[in-house]
């Protein structure tokens, strides 16, 4: 089974970015934790980040026929990107939306996700564990 993790804008700054909200772990720390868990679960993981919306759209498109599940932290694009939502709907790869923070407990503009309606479900508010829970959820999803 192959699972692709996609990370959106500013997640490259984790570790120094608003640590009170996002924690002290860097994205490299999170990737290492995900890879450790993936090897326990005997699944293959691809892990990437971009600040560019179109690059994330292209990665979603390129996932077709290659990855069984996408685990997506679209970061701020969660709340704005019709293009990312449309890409998920187009490729029909089961996708799990994740967030480090509990977006429902934050500013109102973070309460709405354009991506959630085309995802299987959402994991939000568990810090680094949102990624681990996302991985565990992904392995339970049968490729369609």
Nearest distance, CB of residue 72 and ligand DQA, angstroms: 10
Nearest distance, CB of residue 76 and ligand DQA, angstroms: 4
Sheet containing 95-99, strands listed edge to edge, beginning at the edge strand earlier in sequence: 44-49, 2-7, 69-73, 95-99, 121-124
Complex with ligand DQA: residue 45 or 123, whichever CB lies closer: 123
Measured CA to CA in angstroms, residue 140 lies from 32, 70, 122 at distances of: 21, 13, 14
Report how far Cα 115 is from the mean position of its chain's Cα atoms: 11
Nearest distance, CB of residue 110 and ligand DQA, angstroms: 4
C-alpha to C-alpha distance for 45 and 37, rounded to whole angstroms: 10
C-alpha to C-alpha distance for 121 and 33, rounded to whole angstroms: 22
Q: Which residue has the tokens 């959402």?
A: 122
* Residue 77: active-site member: no
Which residue in the list 79, 99, 112, 131 is annotated as catalytic? 99
Interface residues toward ligand DQA, by CB under 6 A: 10, 73, 75-76, 78, 99-101, 103, 110
Complex with ligand DQA: residue 102 or 136, whichever CB lies closer: 102
Nearest to 78 by CA among 5, 9, 3: 9
Nearest distance, CB of residue 90 and ligand DQA, angstroms: 22
Complex with ligand DQA: residue 37 or 102, whichever CB lies closer: 102
Complex with ligand DQA: residue 1 or 37, whichever CB lies closer: 37
* Residue 99: active-site member: yes
Annotated catalytic sites, by residue? 22, 99
């Amino acid at each position: 089974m192959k699972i692709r993790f996609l990370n959106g804008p500013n997640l490259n700054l984790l570790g120094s970015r608003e640590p009170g909200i996002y924690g002290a772990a860097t994205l490299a720390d999170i990737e290492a934790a995900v890879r450790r868990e993936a090897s326990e679960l005997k699944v293959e993981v691809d892990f990437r980040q971009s600040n560019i919306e179109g690059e994330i759209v292209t990665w979603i498109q390129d996932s077709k026929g290659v990855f069984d599940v996408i685990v997506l932290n679209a970061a701020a694009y969660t709340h704005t990107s019709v293009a990312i939502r449309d890409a998920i709907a187009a490729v029909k790869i089961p996708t799990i939306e994740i967030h480090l923070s509990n977006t429902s407990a934050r500013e109102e503009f973070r309460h709405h996700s354009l991506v959630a309606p085309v995802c299987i479900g959402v994991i939000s508010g568990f810090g680094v564990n949102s990624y681990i829970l996302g991985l565990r959820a992904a392995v339970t999803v049968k490729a369609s």
